[in-house]
């Protein structure tokens, strides 16, 4: 009797890796969402949401239709990234 080969490990890996982001130097958008900003800043998205709500972090987001948008130029400045 043959056993079926499942690709559950592949599916699990794909599900846990999350979205991929371009290098900050190549990011062309003027603003990024919270997930991307958290990725670039090596923080959890919830940390950025706390910064926004308390207005206490090193960056201040824009609020666009109730969503947070983080300025790419400010993230680059904070991290010292030039392009």
CATH number at residue 31: 1.10.10
- Quote the pTM value: 0.77
Residue 59's domain spans which residues? 23-79
Structural domain tally of the chain? 1
State residue 66's pLDDT score: 94
Residue 2 lies in a domain: no
Cα–Cα distance for residue pair 41/63, rounded to 1 Å: 19
Residue length of the chain: 83
Residue 18 lies in a domain: no
Task: Measure the N-to-C terminal CA separation of the chain; round to a whole number of Å.
Answer: 59
Residue 71 lies in a domain: yes
State residue 23's pLDDT score: 95
Tens of pLDDT, residue by residue over 19-64, are 899 999 999 999 999 999 999 999 999 999 999 999 999 999 999 9
Residue 10 lies in a domain: no
Residue 59 lies in a domain: yes
Query: What's the alpha-carbon Rg for the chain, to the nearest Å?
Result: 17
């Amino acid at each position: 009797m043959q056993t079926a080969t499942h690709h559950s490990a592949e599916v699990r890996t794909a599900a846990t890796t999350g979205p991929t982001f371009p290098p900050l130097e190549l990011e062309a958008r003027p603003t990024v969402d919270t997930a991307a900003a958290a990725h670039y800043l090596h923080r959890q998205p919830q940390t950025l949401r706390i910064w926004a709500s308390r207005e206490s972090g090193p960056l201040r987001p824009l609020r666009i239709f109730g969503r947070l948008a983080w300025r790419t130029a400010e993230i680059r400045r904070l991290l010292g990234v030039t392009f």
